[in-house]
């Protein structure tokens, strides 16, 4: 292609882009303030704070994951992982860059965490379903500052010179493993002068804002479906490509409520209480423990591991996936009510990675001994926790847990005793569950 023709094509493309942007801006100017309340589904939670918006943008995408998984993934998605969103953010940050200010804080942060870091505030949240975030600001300024408001003051705030903005992330269940991810943005000005200023801002800038929404939703969907796939693997007992690693199952009867047992086991920060090989367990995510909660664990030997809760159904079952440089660890637990308290069944699969996989027949017995020792230590710790501990799983005085343990690793089958725990081991196959010993 000749340089002249290439230049013509480039000029034509640029002209088309300019005309399209101009048409969009004109349409946004005309549409501003004309919101049809019946155009989109009603959001009762958002209606509490901005019932009569001047802008109401609604975007959604279907996700192959449960609603709880979808919302947790959406909240923790870093929008700047999308090249399109990053380019839009970069264009909007040009004035700040010219002033010598940083483009953004270092490190990857989820959309909710980053938004709150900019000054927004949480107005309302329904666990596993929806979160509403809001602020008042003056976006037409070169240096934009967001100000939070208490939820009870947001709807009535009318100080002149600002606009109030509220946006949501929500997940609506469409089935057991399907959900609808929704994000919605509403804006209202506090006085006529602010309305004019924001309208001049919104007409050209809304194209980039909406483009970010379209780029971000597929990112959130991929992350949610990735997490759902891991949870499915955990439910299938960690089978990968028809092979298994070291599989350990542990059962214990405990004279505590199922809620106490569940809360203790899913708070991984309690592990140093019974595992002397643990240096520390740090909770990486904010808020209460739940689906998507991540931990970072460090042990005296071995690499640090990141652990994520991929299933959380309090107080009956949970599953987690742990990854380090040389080890994958899938684990999960089930809690059922018994006449005397609760029965806890824990299952763990450890899979060495890289060259260590070739040594699995040798490493299997060593890994088995360590985990059996850990279970023994945990049982001892259970009996020594103070009764005042809310999230403890201690038996009544004079009672010890009744246990059964099942272990499989490459090699041979044999039985062994650890305290009052009986175990069996075999290579890669299912081992019949051992009955609870009286």
pLDDT attached to residue 401: 41
pLDDT over 90 at 186, yes or no: yes
How far apart are alpha carbons 337 and 317 in whole angstroms? 12
Q: Give the number of other CB atoms < 10 A from CB of residue 236.
A: 10
Angle between helices 83-92 and 192-235 (to 10 degrees): 150
Q: Of the spans 235-244, 358-367, 381-390, which averages the highest pLDDT? A: 358-367
Residues whose CB is less than 8 angstroms from the CB of residue 98 and which lie 6 or more positions away in sequence, other chains included: none
pLDDT in tens, 294-337: 899 998 877 889 898 888 888 888 888 888 877 888 888 888 88
pTM of the predicted model, to two decimals? 0.54
Tokens of 234: 């955990």
Tokens of 228: 């759902």
Note the helical H segments in 124-169: 151-154
Q: Is the distance from CB of 218 to CB of 212 less than 8 angstroms?
A: no
Ranges of beta strands (E only) in 11-162 are 55-63, 121-126, 130-137
What is the pairing mode between strands 178-189 and 341-352? unpaired
Domains of the chain by start residue, with CATH: 32-233 (3.30.530), 236-425 (3.30.530.20)
pLDDT in tens, 260-275: 888 888 999 988 887 8
Could you tell me which residues are beta bridge partners of residue 180? 62, 172
Q: Is the distance from CB of 310 to CB of 231 less than 8 angstroms?
A: yes
Q: Is 40 exposed, middle or buried (0-12, 13-18, 19+ CB in 10 A)?
A: middle
């Amino acid at each position: 292609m000749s340089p002249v023709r290439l230049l013509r094509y480039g000029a034509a493309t640029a002209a088309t882009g300019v005309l399209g942007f101009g048409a969009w801006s004109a349409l946004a100017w005309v549409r501003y303030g004309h919101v049809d309340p019946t155009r989109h589904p009603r959001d009762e939670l958002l209606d509490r704070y901005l019932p009569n918006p001047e802008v109401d943008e609604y975007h959604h995408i279907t996700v192959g994951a449960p609603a709880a998984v979808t919302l947790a993934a959406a909240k923790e998605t870093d929008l700047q992982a999308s090249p399109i969103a990053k380019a839009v953010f970069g264009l909007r940050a040009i004035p700040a860059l010219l002033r010598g200010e940083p483009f953004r804080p270092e490190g990857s942060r989820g959309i909710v965490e980053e938004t709150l870091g900019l000054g927004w505030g949480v107005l309302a949240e329904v666990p596993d379903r929806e979160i509403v975030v809001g602020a008042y600001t003056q976006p037409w300024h070169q240096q934009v500052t967001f100000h939070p408001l208490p939820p009870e003051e947001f709807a009535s705030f009318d100080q002149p010179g600002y606009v109030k903005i509220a946006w949501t992330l929500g997940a609506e269940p469409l089935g057991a493993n399907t959900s609808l991810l929704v994000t919605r943005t509403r804006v209202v000005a506090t006085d006529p002068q602010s309305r004019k200023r924001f309208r001049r801002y919104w007409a050209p800038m809304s194209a980039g804002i909406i483009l970010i929404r379209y780029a971000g939703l597929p990112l959130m969907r991929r992350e949610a479906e990735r997490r759902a796939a891991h949870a499915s693997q955990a439910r299938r007992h960690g089978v990968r490509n028809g092979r298994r690693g070291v599989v350990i199952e542990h059962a214990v009867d405990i004279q505590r409520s199922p809620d106490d047992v569940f809360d203790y086991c899913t708070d991984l920060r309690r592990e140093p209480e019974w595992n002397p090989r643990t240096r520390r367990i740090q909770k990486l995510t904010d808020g209460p423990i739940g689906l998507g909660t991540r931990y970072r664990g460090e042990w005296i030997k071995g690499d640090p591991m990141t652990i994520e809760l991929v299933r959380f159904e309090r107080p009956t079952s949970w599953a987690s996936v742990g990854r380090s440089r040389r080890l994958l660890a899938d684990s999960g637990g089930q809690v059922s009510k018994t006449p005397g308290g609760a029965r806890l069944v824990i299952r763990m699969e450890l899979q060495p990675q890289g060259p260590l996989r070739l040594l699995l027949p040798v490493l299997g017995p060593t890994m088995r001994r360590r985990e059996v020792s850990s279970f023994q230590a945990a049982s001892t710790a259970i009996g020594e926790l103070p009764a005042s501990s809310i999230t403890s799983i201690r038996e009544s005085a004079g009672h010890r847990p009744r246990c059964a343990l099942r272990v499989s690793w490459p090699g041979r089958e044999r039985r062994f005793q650890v305290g009052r725990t009986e175990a069996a081991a075999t290579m890669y196959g299912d081992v019949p569950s051992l009955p609870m010993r009286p």
